[in-house]
């Protein structure tokens, strides 16, 4: 059986969510973060040579990286559901947002977080800090604009691009404290996501004591 190693309040929530949306059988193994450092415990880091979440095991296959795992599960167990074919008019959007999530948005938010932790001068006139913060703002603005005319990130259909993008818009904010007050389209989108039974089941199973940051 497919085994999903889930680190609490982490990107591995995407994998639980995908499995729940596909309604496929899987075994969930949960790991709590260190209460002081908020980092993964040693036993989670030992699962894969890179030592980060998420990680799945499927027979002899041990796989890390959110995007790779999502593609693997959809191709092997999902009959390519939640994907778009190359001739679909929204195929380019599907590809862009699928890769933008971890290729640009999450790194920008991580850099912003590190800058806030390390910079001695946190005033807006600090050019380095301001530049780093602007990357996150640009990412949020881009998502807000796109969702003003699209129900989901790949248009009118829910796809794996949404599974990739929801984490930086929600759970990632537990670390970055990003405010959604000025992003009404993102908030409306997250309300639609929060109404999905697959998302609700995944969050309850993976992080039962954590309230999803949907607003």
Length of the chain measured in residues = 215
Query: How far is residue 154's CA from residue 93's CA, in Å, rounded to a whole number?
Result: 5
Q: What is the pLDDT of residues 106-139, one digit of tens each?
A: 988 887 777 666 655 555 566 766 777 788 899 9
Q: Which two tokens stand for residue 178?
A: 């990003």
- Strands 27-31, 3-7: pairing is parallel
Looking at every residue in the chain, the average pLDDT score rounds to 92
With both helix axes pointing from N to C terminus, report the angle between 184-194 and 160-169 in degrees, rounded to the nearest 10: 120
Query: Which pLDDT score is estimated for 134?
Result: 85
Q: Are both 2-82+201-206 and 90-196 of the same fold?
A: no
Nearest in space to 139 (alpha carbons), one of 111, 113, 106, 93: 106
Contact between 159 and 82 under an 8 Å Cβ cutoff? The reply is yes
Beta bridge partners of 30: 6
Query: How far is residue 69's CA from residue 200's CA, in Å, rounded to a whole number?
Result: 20
Least confident of 5-14, 131-140, 146-155, 205-214: 131-140
Query: Which pLDDT score is estimated for 135?
Result: 86
Query: Which pLDDT score is estimated for 154?
Result: 98
With both helix axes pointing from N to C terminus, report the angle between 91-100 and 160-169 in degrees, rounded to the nearest 10: 40
pTM: 0.92
Q: Which two tokens stand for residue 72?
A: 């693997």
Phi, psi of 198 (to 5 degrees): -65, -40
Q: Across the chain, where does the E strand assignment appear? A: 3-7, 27-31, 55-58, 61-64
The secondary structure of 23-78 as a DSSP string is T---EEEEEPPPTTT-PPPHHHHTSSTT--S-EEEETTEEEE-HHHHHHHHHHHHS
Query: Which pLDDT score is estimated for 212?
Result: 92
Q: What is the pLDDT of residues 82-100, one digit of tens each?
A: 999 999 999 999 999 999 9
How do the domains of the chain map onto residue ranges?
A: 2-82+201-206, 90-196
Query: Which pLDDT score is estimated for 10?
Result: 93
Which CATH number is 90-196's, of 1.10.1040.10, 1.20.1050.10, 2.30.40.10, 2.40.30.20? Answer: 1.20.1050.10
Residue 176, pLDDT > 60, answer yes
> What is the mean pLDDT of the segment spanning 130-149?
90
Task: Say what percent of the chain tops pLDDT 90.
Answer: 76
Q: Which two tokens stand for residue 23?
A: 């309604």
The helix/strand/coil state of 210 is coil
Query: How far is residue 108's CA from residue 46's CA, in Å, rounded to a whole number?
Result: 27
Q: What is the pLDDT of residues 29-82, one digit of tens each?
A: 999 998 888 889 899 999 998 889 999 999 999 999 999 999 999 999 999 999
Domain range 2-82+201-206, CATH architecture: 3-Layer(aba) Sandwich (3.40)
Q: In the structure, what pLDDT confidence band is assigned to residue 158 with cuts at 50, 70 and 90?
A: very high
Query: Which pLDDT score is estimated for 127?
Result: 74
């Amino acid at each position: 059986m497919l085994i999903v190693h889930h680190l609490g309040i982490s990107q591995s929530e995407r994998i639980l969510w995908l499995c729940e949306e596909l309604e496929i059988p899987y075994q969930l193994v949960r790991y709590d973060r260190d209460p002081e450092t908020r980092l993964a415990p040693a036993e989670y880091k030992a699962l894969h040579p890179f030592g980060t979440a998420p990680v799945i095991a499927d027979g002899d296959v041990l796989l890390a990286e959110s995007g790779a795992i999502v593609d693997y599960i959809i191709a092997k167990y999902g009959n390519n559901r939640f994907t778009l074919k190359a001739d679909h008019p929204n195929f380019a959007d599907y590809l862009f947002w699928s890769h933008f999530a971890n290729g640009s948005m999450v790194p920008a938010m991580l850099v912003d977080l590190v800058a806030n932790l390390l910079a001695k001068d946190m005033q807006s006139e600090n050019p380095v800090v301001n530049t780093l913060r602007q990357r996150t703002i640009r990412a949020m603005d881009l998502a807000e604009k796109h969702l003003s005319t699209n129900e989901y990130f790949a248009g009118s259909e829910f796809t794996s691009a949404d599974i990739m993008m929801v984490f930086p818009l929600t759970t990632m904010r537990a670390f970055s404290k990003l405010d959604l007050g000025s992003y009404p389209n993102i908030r409306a989108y997250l309300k639609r996501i929060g109404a999905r039974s697959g998302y609700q089941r995944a969050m309850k199973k993976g992080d039962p004591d954590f309230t999803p940051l949907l607003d």
